[in-house]
Amino acid sequence: MASSGVGILPGMSGLILVHVDASLIVVDKPAGLLAVPGRGADKADCVLVRLLPDWPDALVVHRLDMATSGLLLLARGAAAQRRLGHAFERREVDKTYVAVVTGEVDGECGSIDLPLAADWPNRPLQRVDRETGRPALTHWQVLGRDAAAGTTRLALQPVTGRSHQLRVHLQAIGHPIVGDGLYAPPALAARSPRLLLHASRLVLPHPGDERRLAFDSAPPF
């Protein structure tokens, strides 16, 4: 089942609602907006806080990095949150991202299987850690190459959901995401005013009746 966009709703401070029903909310999050509040008054504005005045039962199910745009799922009520959380744990939720990475990637598809751990001296950075890291797996497929720009557009499917997984995995294979201020060298990070990473597709079982829902969002880059 594909859902058309609900659009920008009154009272939502400009948030684009892709889908709303009695059990869940899907938001098309802009880059630069937190999913949940951070520490400090300057990090209070976020998707969750903007939703609560109109949907006071909204609860977080998963998160996107502040710099990442695209589809973000929230539950309505604790029961729906538990069911959706279990669906993520059982890997019944399929997520696809689109990224523009530096360099021309060899091959047409592949997988990155590298364990990740927090880089504690440099938090919030993560790093590849083959000794103590948690398993992390990302599948990738080439969507296009731009030889003039020296970039490759990829579709990414994370099997696991580690913090910064896509960003660290791509850095680890020598193709950091364009505009990544955390993991790309400064000259490459400066090539874009934003991180070129977008959550473009979300497929999940509805927490009420288990029917499969599919949502799509075109990358704004």
Q: Which residues are catalytic?
A: 65
Residue 26: what are its φ and ψ, rounded to 5°?
-120, 125
Residue 11: what are its φ and ψ, rounded to 5°?
85, 0
CA 176 centroid distance within chain:
16
Burial group, residue 161, by CB count within 10 angstroms (0-12, 13-18, 19+): middle
**For 54, which DSSP code?**
T
CA torsion through residues 181, 128, 219, 92, sign: negative
Angle of CA points 164, 170, 175, to nearest 5°: 140
Instruction: Report strand pairing: 69-76 vs 197-205.
Output: parallel
